[in-house]
Amino acid sequence: MQKVFEWQTSGPGLYEVTREVDAWVTGDGLLTLFVQHTSCSLMIQENADPEVRTDLAAFFHRLVPPTTDPSMSYLTHTYEGPDDMPAHIKAALLPTSLQIPVAGGRMALGTWQGIYLFEHRDAPHVRRVIGHLA
Amino acid sequence: MQKVFEWQTSGPGLYEVTREVDAWVTGDGLLTLFVQHTSCSLMIQENADPEVRTDLAAFFHRLVPPTTDPSMSYLTHTYEGPDDMPAHIKAALLPTSLQIPVAGGRMALGTWQGIYLFEHRDAPHVRRVIGHLA
Amino acid sequence: MQKVFEWQTSGPGLYEVTREVDAWVTGDGLLTLFVQHTSCSLMIQENADPEVRTDLAAFFHRLVPPTTDPSMSYLTHTYEGPDDMPAHIKAALLPTSLQIPVAGGRMALGTWQGIYLFEHRDAPHVRRVIGHLA
């Protein structure tokens, strides 16, 4: 059972998609989510305090600043904008796919776990994520 | 086939769980392990020299120090303790789930690969990990 | 359906393996690739501009320099060479396994996605990767 999700983003940060995915899953099995892009990521993170998401985005922005930052002057792939190569690096550091057991029609997430699309680009994008349930 | 593992931790570091998982798997298929928390991780790493585990924990402690470290003063989610937000960041950087092929009742791990629960919090915790074999 | 791929590397960097994997997959399902080593990684990344791969390798080399670098003097597992412990750290940061949906005999990769073996060791190695399709 496969489905393509399309999610609109409007700049860097974490977008929660838990509810939409949960509404789709059914039965018992294993859910795989796979993002078809190399400049955004999927992530399971705390869904309680929104400060956690802000802090996560801040950490990764400091670990991998834009190529206009002097510390990143060694990068060569800059013609798609100062946020492009850092987006590829963040996409390398963070998951391209997630796997979540499903039981009784619900994802077996922990109490505080939510599913996020983590956008790394500045411009708005429509992101395609394939859901595979088996 | 699903099973919930519960593992007790007593502070940051890598806890090997290879033997317990290997005793559970059977037949041929694919094993998924999924941790139901956002402040610890799963990891496959070298199981030979214990210094590798110590060094790994040291690297991640330096990459993401406690919020009491001046370099982390930009973080806002601090009321659950100086180890809490760094634990979420480490959990973002490291796997929430593992996938391991199973053949003939054994995990197809390489010679030097072991499975670890990587605890990021200071206080003792009981960690729930779902095993899914299909 | 399982297959063992063996890929020869000759020093650090990203080696594209998309074509060989694509030639093997068939039907509909989910492909898992699992690397049986703790000093190299698997990765999905941009397959267009080769500068992206060079920049990725450069970023991880700076994030985790050889143990001969003064900033890494706290590491203790050094007797296998200055590139060994950094290779384990990079392998912890990057995927040991990939999951890719398969439909109509083709991997459902995005337009710009390719599959890479990311070698972290200096010496030539033969790397074993298990393909599991179900």
DSSP annotation string for C12-52: SEEEE-HHHHHHH--SSEEEEEEE--SSEEEEEEE-S-HHH
> Tell me, what's the ipTM?
0.97
pLDDT at C127: 98
A132 three-class SS: strand
Q: In whole angstroms, give the CA distance from residue B130 to residue A109.
A: 10
A97 touching B (Cβ < 8 Å): no
C132 touching B (Cβ < 8 Å): yes
What average pLDDT does range A20-40 have in this prediction?
Answer: 98
pLDDT at A28: 96
Closest CA to C2 of C46, C43, C36, C49: C36
Reported as a pLDDT band with limits 50, 70 and 90, residue C111 is very high
Structure letter (DSSP) for residue A38: S
pLDDT at B84: 97
Dump pLDDT digits (tens) for C21-52.
999 999 999 999 999 999 999 999 999 999 99
In sequence order, the β-bridge partners of residue C33 are: C98, C131
Dump pLDDT digits (tens) for B49-95.
999 999 999 999 999 999 999 999 999 999 999 999 999 999 999 99
What average pLDDT does range C85-93 have in this prediction?
Answer: 98
The string over A56-83, giving b where at least 16 C-beta atoms fall within 10 Å of a residue's C-beta and e elsewhere, is: bbebbbebbebbeeeebeebebbeeeeb
Query: Which run of H or of E encompasses A7?
Result: strand A2-9
Question: Which two tokens mark C46?
Answer: 């941009």
Q: What percent of chain B has pLDDT over 90?
A: 100
A49 touching B (Cβ < 8 Å): yes
B44 and C64 within 8 Å at the Cβ level: the answer is no
**Number of domains chain A contains:** 1
Give A76's contacts in chain C (Cβ within 8 Å): 51, 54-55
What dihedral do alpha carbons B19, B25, B26, B32 form, nearest 10°?
-140
Domain that holds residue B110: 2-133
Q: What percent of chain C has pLDDT over 70?
A: 100
Which one of A92, A128, A134 has the shortest CB-CB distance to C110? A128
Dump pLDDT digits (tens) for C114-125.
999 999 999 999
CATH code at position B92: 2.60.120.460
Residues C48, C112: contact at Cβ < 8 Å? Answer: yes
Mean pLDDT of chain C: 97
Q: Left, alpha or beta for A113 (phi > 0: left; psi -120 to 50: alpha)?
A: beta
Question: Among A32, A99, A106, A132, which would you mutate to test the B interface (most chain B Cβ atoms within 10 Å of its Cβ)?
Answer: A99
Dump pLDDT digits (tens) for A81-122.
999 999 999 999 999 999 999 999 999 999 999 999 999 999
What average pLDDT does range B12-27 have in this prediction?
Answer: 98
Which one of C32, C63, C91 has the shortest CB-CB distance to B101? C32
